[in-house]
Structure 1
Amino acid sequence: MNYQALYRMYRPQSFDDVVGQEHVTKTLRNAIAKGKQSHAYIFSGPRGTGKTSIAKVFAKAINCPNSVDGEPCNECDICKSITQGSNSDVIEIDAASNNGVDEIRNIRDKVKYAPSQSKYKVYIIDEVHMLTTGAFNALLKTLEEPPAHAIFILATTEPHKIPPTIISRAQRFDFKAIGLDQIIERLRYVAESQHIEYDDEAIAFIAKASEGGMRDALSIMDQAIAFGDEHLTLQDALNVTGSVDEASLNALLNDVANGQVKDAFARYHQFIAEGKEVNRLINDLIYFVRDTIMNKTAQRETEYDALMAFDLDTLYKMIDLINDTLVSVRFSVNQNVHFEVLLVKMAELIKEGDAPVANPDMHSANAHQAPSAPQPAQQNNDVSSALLQRLEHLEQELNALKQQGVTSTNTPPKQKSNSRGRRRSKNSYSMTQIAKVLDSANKEDIKLLKDHWQEVIDHAKNHNQKALVSLLQNSIPVAASEKSVLVQFEAEIHCEIVNDDDEKRSNLEEVVRSIINKNVSVVGVPADQWLQVRSEYIQNRKKGGANNASQESANEPEQQEVDIVQKAKDMFGEDTVHITDED
């Protein structure tokens, strides 16, 4: 086979040829020039960023007799043999298929022998994270006390799977994704070297689709050239990657923005019929929304303006929806359904969200076509109102974050240490307060609260009390009296906020009062500890110690003995109390 793939043909043969990893190549070149190379290296980073290529260049540089400033000459017999893969002193091992103890023991047995034709033996272990625990243990001793003539280079895309004992015995270099401009420049160089005509849009798209991997970029380019009969066009690149051009995406999102979901479905199925891939299409949508956000932020006009009329919050939510769909699609056998649901969700998000707010400094020709756009006479007032609401929301969210432990670096955390000192280190609730509620709990009051609790949550939503809405999510009253209510919270941090934050608790009590026309104090209990708390309370009542947790009630006259079983049924409901015979 005479033809060689572009990524093999243009594989770096010296440190100067490597694109985008200057922090690695400069360090290695200086170490070789000064004779201070290490006995072991870890090269970690995304695929196609030059890990094994640099490892081979390094092997040539330290063995080349004509090396200048740490660069191999690529002309001597040693350099040529390493390039061709015929040098017996440079051993490349794929740990994905040779990951057992026996393979590593074989290396350990042979590493002690001196190199046959070079100065150093270099072991390049690719995908080293695939080694078993036993294999890592077998490699450990060799890395700790290697022969003077042996150098190990461990390449991996998942460094977190390498044991710390291995990492601590090697120098680690983290490779980064190659920049878009650097990939574009390299692709142009390759195309011109191969005398291939190309469109700049095609080169830019291939660089973007490669997601920072030079090998992927060259592979896509190679495939697109073959598809397009020696002329590289954008359409060829789109066809081989299964992607959709921005004009088509703009048309699809115009259908969604105008509520024409049926037309969006038809356009999507046309994409699929043309061989487009769902995964790639979802990624293209993410980039399209990202570009729209960038254009709005920088106040740049664009011809792809399907989403330019919508505010940033709506665009952020769109990206969240698309990301969730991308995760779902990876584990689904029917990807089309997920994408169709995504189109419906985006249309509903636009329909139910705030009216789109056009940037006053932008003059998009199609901005007036967006759905629910504000009328010209109301536009300025709507913009001002939206900004004021946005500021109010940010203040509420900031207060919520502060209450959850996120404080400003310039503001000392007031009362934080004191409140922690008063509160148990183990519990986020107070048995004293819970006992006060349960002592007077009854069926009528808890039924009233349960029947109107959703109204409490809706009231907070309708009045834009976002911090309170977040607090009330997945909460439910579990016991109530004439003057107090015990609320179960799914998240323990929410329970802690209600019990310790007077302002948040006061806001919640105000909302409850507006719904049921009664003043009640709110006490929180975590969902995962409520059953235990309830059981302890009932046991204490049986023992005659219903008020042991409350020091304030110590001087009150003793209550008359009551039927504990009936009391439990009154507080928690007959369907949740079961009588068992302890004998």
Structure 2
Amino acid sequence: MEYTALYRQWRPETFDDMVGQDSIVRTLKNQIKSGRIAHAYLFCGSRGTGKTSAAKILARAVNCISPKDASPCGECRVCKQLKDGNNMDIIEIDAASNNGVDEIRDLRDKVKYPPTVGRYKVYIIDEVHMLSIGAFNALLKTLEEPPAHVIFILATTEPHKLPSTIISRCQRFDFKRIPHRVIMERLEMIAQASSFNIDEEAIDTIARWSEGGMRDALSLMDECVGFCGEHISNSDVLAILGTADQRFIFEFADNMLENNVSALFEMINDIIEDGKNISVFLKDIIYHMRNLMLIKVCGVKNDLLDMSDATLKDYGLQAQRASIEKITRIVDILTGLDSQLKWSTQPRVLLELAMVKICRPDEEQSYEAIIERLKALEQGMVSIPKQPQVMQQNKEKKVAKPKEEAGERKKEVQKKEKTADKINSKKAVSTQNNGKSIEESWPDIMNEIKKERMPIYTLLREAKVSQSGEGKVILKFAPDQGFYAAAIEMDDKRTFIQDMIYKMTGKNVIVACQLGESSNTSDEDDDVVKKAIEIFGEQFVEVVEEDD
């Protein structure tokens, strides 16, 4: 017996069989019941959402002798004859191959003939946007005032390509993408009826990759049945798609958020060795990061995320460990990469390059990368080294053996010796710089700052130091480094630098910042600026130098 594809076997025969288009089904059924049937319909929507199926059901329903709840009964003489593909009352036209003026003129000449079996002659024109301008113009008059026994049903995936004169003559119905959960329920029902087993995770993957199209989902499941037999696992579906499983994608996203570029390179190598398609895998990663972005913006409980509760929980936990700036920057880089892969012969190199950009924002000059660096600096500045906690030895303390007591005393002696060594080394550092100016000791000061407070060292890396007057040090920054200067002006950072200068040189100084090459700013001007910052806050104060 000749095999029929699943999407053809399970094509809806009645309006009740259609899923995911409840509003459209309700409208069409009410029109049939009340007899308010339009002379022209326009069905719009993406592929596999049920446009052609709805057109065929409507064509049979308007001709059925005894419809059941506005759907064709399938038992009367008319329904049986119209179900045959050779009937003369339901004419399906492919506009992609019949898009000329001559074909439309031939159609216009035939519409005057009455139906042979039912009450209406129905013309279903699929992919109607493929008609030429001349063909549209030839169809206008007939579409506006057809004979009473004729109904036109136009179907298209690109309604924006249709002339407004055509759209205005039709009742338009927009078929939306079928929800993820609805597709999963339909696939599970078909699997049970077809006597083959499929894992729930595999159904979820098929539904996710169908992108709201039932026909795509059934075609993919049909392919999986041919590949696996009676049992379909998620790994089999992933092997057919050429992508990785969801756990792998979560781990890949974790490494991107943690800037672990070496682990990302190893995972990319695993993808290549397993024969996965980089373009397909990249689309999965973009979709994953898009979900994280939605959670960060809209929260976990929102209607934009169509997935199982367990998966949604995993997304929520991962989103807590990421910032919205980091996620949007990753999405921006990956979407740009997606367009480049279409024309590249080295997709692996481009993917690895994108991972380096994601994990090393300090090497980029984009706005998102700068924001990410600033957040990292803020976190480094706010974090304070934890002090060792003093254990309460008097509470619930067990009696130690003599050997344990001796070992503890030995450790305490070693700790005291290490502490004394550190103190002596610091004294040596401070004494060896005695007699030098702050400008001469600045490299040593920077080295000590780098050891203790790396974020402050990053801010001071390009600053130039000059000592203007007794007890004052000016740090000069380039004109475009206003943020660095403002960050150094914060009390905790300025105090740390002043303490480090005293530690290395033994001099008590006040640190001030200056932008640009000019060094003529007087002490009074600095005091005025500081006073203004104390009163209004540094975000509302801007220093503007007037020209002479």
Q: What's the TM-score, normalizing by structure 2?
A: 0.64
Is it true that 1:459 corresponds to 2:482 in the alignment?
yes
Shift in CA distance, 455/377, structure 1 to aligned 2, threshold 3 Å:
closer
Please list, as runs of the form range in 1=range in 2, the aligned pairs for 1:75-154 lying within 5 A after superposition: 75-154=75-154
* CA deviations over 1:356-406 (Å, ceiling 9, x no partner): 99xxxxxxxxxxxx99976995499xxxxxxxxxxxxxxxxxxxxxxxxxx
Shift in CA distance, 371/81, structure 1 to aligned 2, threshold 3 Å:
farther
Q: CA deviation at 1:23?
A: 1.0
Q: CA deviation at 1:141?
A: 1.2
Match of 2:61 in 1: 61
Is it true that 1:347 corresponds to 2:359 in the alignment?
yes
CA distance, structure 1, for counterparts of residue 74 and residue 44 of structure 2: 26
Letter in 2 for 1:328: Q
SS, match of residue 43 in structure 2: strand
CA distance, structure 2, for counterparts of residue 320 and residue 241 of structure 1: 25
CA distance, structure 1, for counterparts of residue 208 and residue 262 of structure 2: 31
Match of 1:324 in 2: 336
Pick the aligned partner of 2:323 from 311, 316, 319: 311
CA distance, structure 2, for counterparts of residue 167 and residue 303 of structure 1: 42
Letter in 1 for 2:181: D
SS, match of residue 314 in structure 2: coil
Letter in 2 for 1:518: E
SS, match of residue 165 in structure 2: helix
Shift in CA distance, 181/59, structure 1 to aligned 2, threshold 3 Å:
same
Is it true that 1:518 corresponds to 2:546 in the alignment?
yes
Shift in CA distance, 256/143, structure 1 to aligned 2, threshold 3 Å:
same
Shift in CA distance, 206/170, structure 1 to aligned 2, threshold 3 Å:
same
CA distance, structure 1, for counterparts of residue 75 and residue 17 of structure 2: 16
Q: Is contact 1:257-1:306 (8 Å) kept?
A: no
Q: CA deviation at 1:92?
A: 0.7
Q: CA deviation at 1:321?
A: 2.1
CA distance, structure 2, for counterparts of residue 84 and residue 315 of structure 1: 54
Give the structure with higher Rg (CA): 2
SS, match of residue 146 in structure 2: coil
Q: Is contact 1:256-1:346 (8 Å) kept?
A: yes
SS, match of residue 116 in structure 2: coil
CA distance, structure 1, for counterparts of residue 108 and residue 224 of structure 2: 45
CA distance, structure 2, for counterparts of residue 332 and residue 112 of structure 1: 55
SS, match of residue 328 in structure 2: helix
CA distance, structure 2, for counterparts of residue 305 and residue 330 of structure 1: 33
Q: Is contact 2:49-2:212 (8 Å) kept?
A: yes
Segments of structure 1 that go 5 or more residues without pairing to the other structure are: 358-369, 381-453, 465-506, 521-583
CA distance, structure 1, for counterparts of residue 73 and residue 141 of structure 2: 34
Letter in 2 for 1:329: L
SS, match of residue 360 in structure 2: helix
Q: CA deviation at 1:252?
A: 2.7
Q: CA deviation at 1:70?
A: 1.4
Shift in CA distance, 356/235, structure 1 to aligned 2, threshold 3 Å:
farther
Please list, as runs of the form range in 1=range in 2, the aligned pairs for 1:128-207 lying within 5 A after superposition: 128-207=128-207
Segments of structure 2 that go 5 or more residues without pairing to the other structure are: 302-311, 364-368, 387-476, 488-537
CA distance, structure 2, for counterparts of residue 99 and residue 335 of structure 1: 39
CA distance, structure 1, for counterparts of residue 237 and residue 263 of structure 2: 26
Letter in 2 for 1:326: D
Letter in 1 for 2:94: D
- Of all paired residues, the percent bearing the same amino acid is 43
Shift in CA distance, 304/24, structure 1 to aligned 2, threshold 3 Å:
closer
Q: What's the TM-score, normalizing by structure 1?
A: 0.61
Shift in CA distance, 89/458, structure 1 to aligned 2, threshold 3 Å:
farther
Q: CA deviation at 1:163?
A: 0.3
Match of 2:282 in 1: 282
Q: Is contact 1:44-1:155 (8 Å) kept?
A: yes
SS, match of residue 152 in structure 1: strand
Q: Is contact 2:46-2:157 (8 Å) kept?
A: yes
Q: CA deviation at 1:323?
A: 2.3
Q: Which moved more, 1:72-81 or 1:253-262?
A: 253-262
CA distance, structure 2, for counterparts of residue 121 and residue 322 of structure 1: 51
CA distance, structure 1, for counterparts of residue 59 and residue 324 of structure 2: 51
Q: Which moved more, 1:325-334 or 1:298-307?
A: 298-307
CA distance, structure 2, for counterparts of residue 307 and residue 69 of structure 1: 48
**Backbone CA RMSD of aligned residues:** 3.4
CA distance, structure 2, for counterparts of residue 285 and residue 379 of structure 1: 36
Shift in CA distance, 254/147, structure 1 to aligned 2, threshold 3 Å:
same
